Amino acid sequence: MSARGLLDVVVVGGGAAGAAAAAALAQSGFDVALVEPSLPTAAATDAPLDARVIALSPASVRFIDRISAWPLAAGRAFAYRDMEVRSGEEILHFGRDLVAEPALGWIVELRALQAAVFAAARSRVVAVHAARVVRCERSEKEARIELDDGTRLRARLVVAAEGGRSLLREASGIAVDTHDYRCRAIVAHLGTEQPNPGMAFQRFLRGGPLALLPIDGGRSSLVWTRPEAEVDALLALDDAAFCEALSAASERRFGAVVASTPRLAFPLRLQLAQRYFDERLVLLGDTAHVVHPLAGLGLNLGLIDAAALVDVLSDARVRVRDIGAAATLSRYDSWRRSDTHAAARAIDLIERGFSGQLGRVGSLLTRGLGLVDAVTPAKRFFASAACGDLGRVPTLARR
């Protein structure tokens, strides 16, 4: 068994949000160890684009750029410069010109992002432990962690970034509010008659939204939310029948869908931790919040959690205060929990309204799209929201 001296922070979870927190905290001068049993690696340069892609806002890209994890390898990130949202006959369209950004966002391969951010963390932290936590004891003065390889760690603060099924969160007794959408998101990469011109397109349908997001070669990445009862039948269709169903659902926005990679489907749920801290413990990323993918906010919220934690802990250090004390962690909690829960509840209302679960709310939302599209300041507000520039933006994510 080995033991280290007292660290500032141990981050448990080396996904994109956890590794970003570890990299940024270490870069800011904290002594950090990162614990992750499955060390991510980048795919071969000639490997096909993975089905799991996510949207990154400009604010998130600024953050990962400032920890030297951007740009990604060629062919793993794709800018979108326009966004179009449709419901019925109403359309909301806005472009990067409204916010003076090079792009409204980027569609990136998740595994490439995870590998890049993890590499940035590995180059900065005190140690990376490819192991699992088997015991975590926390007291007024410090946290003590034992790993399954026998390593023992002591730290002023533990960051739980293990994902939605966090053992550290459960062991701390932090409750979560959950809602099962009884839907799955079908994902694949598509070829269409007309190339996607760099537009993030979303159409609201009864049962859930359909999104076509730009990737390589004019193709689009599909995220299609369907009720659980429909998903298996859609997955069982042959390619021609699946492409025809998609052509109808997308109203042939880029012409007919002519090709599809093999489809995958992922269950969707809303999950919000009732608080984001406990004694010497703080939650971030999916450990704190899991949201519906319709606005592409999921990982962006986690990355901004990480950047916000750097601000809070750095401020505590300047004031010669304990970075793991409740008074410090409550500042992070009030900042991020209010922001993420407001965003999650808004997304939940929009999803349920447009999918037909809230009666007249859906028709009001649909009419609202057209009204917003007619008012430039309102469109600019939504464009700024898509860029991650509304509200309190952490230092490492600011323009």
Mean pLDDT of the 162-176 span: 97
Question: Residue 184 pLDDT more than 80?
Answer: yes
Q: Are the CB atoms for 179 and 187 separated by under 8 Å? A: no
Distance CA 221, CA 63 (A): 24
What mean pLDDT is reported for the chain? 93
Q: What integer pLDDT is reported at residue 49 of this predicted model?
A: 95
Per-residue tokens: 190: 């598509």
Contacts of 330 (CB under 8 A, 6+ apart): 277
Per-residue tokens: 336: 């991020």
Mean pLDDT of the 188-204 span: 97
Q: What integer pLDDT is reported at residue 369 of this predicted model?
A: 81
Average the pLDDT over each of 10-24, 171-185, 353-367 and give the range with the smallest value.
Answer: 353-367
Mean pLDDT of the 34-57 span: 92
Average the pLDDT over each of 162-171, 283-292, 326-335, 375-384 and give the range with the smallest value.
Answer: 375-384
Question: Residue 358 pLDDT more than 80?
Answer: no
Question: Residue 17 pLDDT more than 90?
Answer: yes
Domain ranges of the chain: 2-79+109-178+269-397, 182-268
Q: What integer pLDDT is reported at residue 3 of this predicted model?
A: 54
Q: What integer pLDDT is reported at residue 263 of this predicted model?
A: 96
Domains 2-79+109-178+269-397 and 182-268 agree in fold: no
Q: What integer pLDDT is reported at residue 359 of this predicted model?
A: 67
Distance CA 301, CA 304 (A): 5
Average the pLDDT over each of 91-105, 119-133, 370-384 and give the range with the smallest value.
Answer: 370-384
Peptide bond into 71 cis (omega under 30): yes
Could you report the per-residue pLDDT of 266-276, keeping only the tens digit for each?
A: 999 999 999 99
Question: Residue 2 pLDDT more than 70?
Answer: no
Peptide bond into 377 cis (omega under 30): no
Percentage of the chain beyond pLDDT 70 is: 97
Question: Residue 38 pLDDT more than 50?
Answer: yes
Read off the pTM. 0.94
Q: What integer pLDDT is reported at residue 344 of this predicted model?
A: 87
Q: Are the CB atoms for 35 and 10 separated by under 8 Å? A: yes
Q: Would strands 32-35 and 127-129 be described as parallel, antiparallel, or unpaired?
A: parallel
Contacts of 172 (CB under 8 A, 6+ apart): 278, 281
Distance CA 94, CA 103 (A): 11
- State the angle between helix axes of 360-373 and 326-354 in degrees (0 to 180), rounded to the nearest 10: 100
Could you report the per-residue pLDDT of 96-124, keeping only the tens digit for each?
A: 888 888 999 999 999 999 999 999 999 99
Mean pLDDT of the 147-174 span: 97
- State the angle between helix axes of 110-122 and 16-27 in degrees (0 to 180), rounded to the nearest 10: 30
> What is the CATH architecture of 182-268?
2-Layer Sandwich (3.30)
The candidate with the shortest Cα–Cα distance to 388, out of 183, 118, 99, is 99
Per-residue tokens: 170: 């459960």
Compute the half-sphere exposure of residue 306: CA atoms within 13 Å on the CB side of its CA: 39
Q: What integer pLDDT is reported at residue 36 of this predicted model?
A: 97
- How crowded is residue 389: how many other Cβ atoms within 10 Å of its Cβ? 18
Q: What integer pLDDT is reported at residue 364 of this predicted model?
A: 78
CATH for the stretch 2-79+109-178+269-397: 3.50.50.60
As a whole number of Å, the CA-based R_g of the chain is 21
Q: What integer pLDDT is reported at residue 376 of this predicted model?
A: 86
Compute the half-sphere exposure of residue 244: CA atoms within 13 Å on the CB side of its CA: 5
Band (4; pLDDT cuts 50, 70, 90): low
Q: What integer pLDDT is reported at residue 1 of this predicted model?
A: 37
Question: Residue 279 pLDDT more than 60?
Answer: yes
Give me the phi and psi of 28, to 5 degrees please: -85, 5
Percentage of the chain beyond pLDDT 90 is: 78
Distance CA 361, CA 354 (A): 8
Compute the half-sphere exposure of residue 268: CA atoms within 13 Å on the CB side of its CA: 27
Per-residue tokens: 277: 């801290």
The candidate with the shortest Cα–Cα distance to 322, out of 33, 6, 8, is 8
Q: What integer pLDDT is reported at residue 391 of this predicted model?
A: 84
Average the pLDDT over each of 156-165, 205-214, 333-342, 359-368 and give the range with the smallest value.
Answer: 359-368
Distance CA 299, CA 290 (A): 9
Give me the phi and psi of 196, to 5 degrees please: -65, 125
Residue bearing the bigger pLDDT, 353 or 394: 394
